[in-house]
Amino acid sequence: MRVVRAVIWWFDSVLGGNDYQRYVRHLRLHHPGGDIPSEREYWRERHDAATRNPQQRCC
């Protein structure tokens, strides 16, 4: 069971599943009192940024 959880965690990390939580932690630590976007707003901005800067993508 432990191995299964570790594999699920790894796939989730590779696919960006933890990115929003990590971003919120960063904002709270380095920019206290600032606005925290909703998860939907975060992903929208992230995908828009990837579209604006296609050289940052692998494919």
Q: What are the structural domain ranges in the chain?
A: 19-54
Span 1-59, pLDDT tens digits: 999 999 888 888 887 788 999 999 999 999 999 999 999 999 999 989 888 887 766 66
- The conformation of residue 57, written as its DSSP 8-state character, comes to S
pTM tops 0.85, yes or no:
no
Q: Name the residue with tokens 């299964």.
A: 4
Q: Calculate the alpha carbon distances from 25 to 22, 31, 32, 51, 53 in Å.
A: 5, 10, 10, 25, 25
pLDDT score, position 4: 92
Closest CA to 42 of 26, 59, 58, 56: 26
Which pLDDT does position 56 carry in this prediction? 66
What is the torsion angle, in degrees rounded to the nearest 10, for the CA atoms of residue 57, residue 8, residue 26 and residue 45? 40
